[in-house]
Amino acid sequence: AQTVTQSQPEMSVQEAETVTLSCTYDTSENNYYLFWYKQPPSRQMILVIRQEAYKQQNATENRFSVNFQKAAKSFSLKISDSQLGDTAMYFCAFMKHFGNEKLTFGTGTRLTIIP
């Protein structure tokens, strides 16, 4: 079974600063996907970024980037030039590679952007 751990329950950062959210996971699989989802107070889960484990290059999406360390089973999210709209719960999630598998989520990090 897979587990996902987010060790930072809450974080806050000044607007325009950079913040990094941590995530570690445990799996015996070699091929898998990792995701970061954002859940604002409106509660809709929004996909932020996705990483395929077989790709060494770290994924980036505009101000969002990841640091994927496969050997360490670490998958952190960096948000650059943070904006007030980035205030939300952030969940790290794991999915096995084949068969359209389920998502396994961490417990989340509540991020607050301070104006």
Partner 1 sequence: DAGVTQSPTHLIKTRGQQVTLRCSPKSGHDTVSWYQQALGQGPQFIFQYYEEEERQRGNFPDRFSGHQFPNYSSELNVNALLLGDSALYLCASSLVGTGTRETQYFGPGTRLLVL
Report d(CA 91, CA 39) in Å as an integer. 8
Q: Is 58 in the site for partner 1 (CB under 8 A)?
A: no
Shortest Å distance, C-beta 22 to partner 1? 15
Tokens for 90, please give them: 């952030």
Binding test (CB under 8 A) with partner 1, winner from 24, 29, 50, 58: 50
Q: Is 111 in the site for partner 1 (CB under 8 A)?
A: no
Shortest Å distance, C-beta 108 to partner 1? 5
Report d(CA 92, CA 1) in Å as an integer. 16
Closest by alpha carbon to 93, among 42, 38, 43, 44? 38
Continuous H helices in 18-83 = none
Q: Is 72 in the site for partner 1 (CB under 8 A)?
A: no
* Binding residues vs partner 1 (CB under 8 A): 4, 33, 35, 37, 42-47, 50, 91, 93, 95, 97-98, 100-108
